[in-house]
A and B are shown apart, each in its own frame.
Chain A
Amino acid sequence: MKYVVLIYGNPESRRAWEGMSDEQRAAGLAYYQQLNDDLDASGERIVSERLAFPELTKRVSVSDGAPMTTDGPFAEAKEFLAGFYLLDCESFERAVEIAGRVPEASFGVVEVRPVMGLHGPEL
């Protein structure tokens, strides 16, 4: 069963990151590396990525068949997607347990959602 863990940033988490020393940041990244290694060893990590800060966002809209883009910053956004994990694990409980290891969970901005599949049961 696949689950996606969505990691949001907010002004509080961003301030925390910006206030860190290089050593603290390195420790934070090492923590993530360990998490990834553990999930690779258990075969549960399909993919995970960190996303650039929202200033580099381009919003796309199509009008008359032509795509238009609007550049950030989107200062009005209090929360922004900062990264994600795509997991393949046994249960929702297990996915939640993994999400609990994501440091951002201490800011209360980590979500887990099941992925919709093609499994069609007998009706």
Chain B
Amino acid sequence: MSEDLLRSLAPQVLTALVRRYGDFDACEDAVQEALLAAAQQWPADGVPDHPKGWLITTASRRRIEQWRSETARQRREETVALAEPPDPEPVAAVDDTLTLLLLCCHPSLTRPSQVALTLRAVGGLTTAEIARAFLVPEATIGQRISRAKQKLRGTRFALPEAERPERLAAVLQVLYLIFTEGHTASSGGALNRVELTSEAIRLVRQLRAELPDDGEVTGLLALMLLTEARRPARVDASGALVPLASQDRSLWNASLIAEGVSLITGALSTAPVGPYQLQAAIAAVHDEAATAEETDWAEILTLYDLLRVVAPGPMVTLNRVVAFAQVHGPSAGLAELAGTASDPALAASHRVDAVRAHLLELSGDGAGARGAYLAAARRTLSLPEQAYLQSRAARLGPG
């Protein structure tokens, strides 16, 4: 309970501090220390009456202590700062999460740095938790965060309105990346890992509370919920991946689906259409089919045709081929797939081999399918996917 509370308060406390002291870098360190102090003290002493005020006061004190240890020259200013008692419950700024997200996803930072900084400054995760989630050493994440903060030094906290749409698009990409990163099939060792999917959903919910009318923010939340709903069926008891068509749909989370469908239906009828909304709509069509056979593939193909115009990309091209084959048959699908071979982004992708294998299998060419599954298995970088592709090949005959 208190961990969720801490994480949801983290961005509010940080923005309060930055507004007061100005320097994001030092304030972020102070907030981390305050969060750690709370994580140690609250379970023993109980949650304070004003948890946010407690965190702001504690973080402010840390910030002042840092200041004091920096140089003697600053001693006079700091006395002034100390004399000024921190407000117990400052006026809540409505857009704390958004302001911080826009800063953490600043275009001068690399994508991995944006991800790490977002999880720490907005998500309230510790460096150790982020490192475990990405299976890298703590020092790697620590360096990444401190370098990112150095780069942001001197960046204005408030954002010019004109830059906002572009910067918000980067924020959505980072949040979606956190979600897909968490979409792993690992089973063992998961005990100590923060669920990145839940973390991404929580952050998008927070963002949506501040931007309820943005269709793409709502679309992204719907997409995540509709994907997360299938999670219990994605992996079988042995840890192997289960493809969508073979999943036990009774395991899908009905309330997440209901929420996702309601969100995307609302967004599509009120906001200009965008790529996250279209992907969410596709996920909704899958999730609403009681059996794989009942999937409305014509509807999915229409949505992919739209997506190809709004946000073209190699994965959109390929997924559209799969939908096309479902509507028009595997032979027509194979012809369509051949037409995508000129796309250089797809030429090196194992996914093309995987789709070709699937279509060849459907059209009755077992030997061709087997070869294509094995080719895909050799080229994938995902262990569960490799196991899945090899098992598909093995079903089609001996090596």
Which residues of A line the B interface, CB within 8 A? Answer: 2, 40-47, 88, 90, 114-123
Chain B residues in 8 Å Cβ range of A45: 140
B81 at the interface (CB under 8 A from A): no
A44 to B113, CA, bound (A): 11
Chain B residues in 8 Å Cβ range of A115: 381
B140 & A43 in contact (Cβ 8 Å cutoff): yes
A115 to B134, CA, bound (A): 13
A41 to B383, CA, bound (A): 30
A-B contacts, CB under 8 A, total: 78
A117 & B383 in contact (Cβ 8 Å cutoff): yes
A43 to B243, CA, bound (A): 36
Chain B residues in 8 Å Cβ range of A43: 112-113, 140-144, 147
Chain B residues in 8 Å Cβ range of A47: 137
B141 & A121 in contact (Cβ 8 Å cutoff): no
Chain A residues in 8 Å Cβ range of B113: 43
Interface size class of B (residues with CB under 8 A): 35 or more
Among candidates B147, B230, B243, residue contacting A42 with C-beta atoms closer than 8 Å: B147
Q: Which residue of A lies closest to B144 (CB)?
A: A43
A49 to B243, CA, bound (A): 40
A42 to B185, CA, bound (A): 29
B140 & A120 in contact (Cβ 8 Å cutoff): no
Leading 3 A-B pairs by shortest Cβ distance: A120-B185, A43-B144, A43-B143
B185 & A41 in contact (Cβ 8 Å cutoff): no
A114 & B381 in contact (Cβ 8 Å cutoff): yes
A120 & B234 in contact (Cβ 8 Å cutoff): yes
Q: Smallest CB–CB gap between B285 and chain A, Å? A: 14
A116 & B112 in contact (Cβ 8 Å cutoff): no
A123 to B286, CA, bound (A): 12
B173 at the interface (CB under 8 A from A): no
Known: A2-B136, A40-B139, A119-B385. 4 other contacts (CB 8 A): A118-B185, A120-B384, A122-B183, A123-B241
A114 to B112, CA, bound (A): 17
B383 & A116 in contact (Cβ 8 Å cutoff): yes
Among candidates B110, B111, B134, B382, residue contacting A120 with C-beta atoms closer than 8 Å: B382
Chain A residues in 8 Å Cβ range of B384: 118-120
A46 & B136 in contact (Cβ 8 Å cutoff): yes
Chain A residues in 8 Å Cβ range of B180: 119
A117 & B382 in contact (Cβ 8 Å cutoff): yes
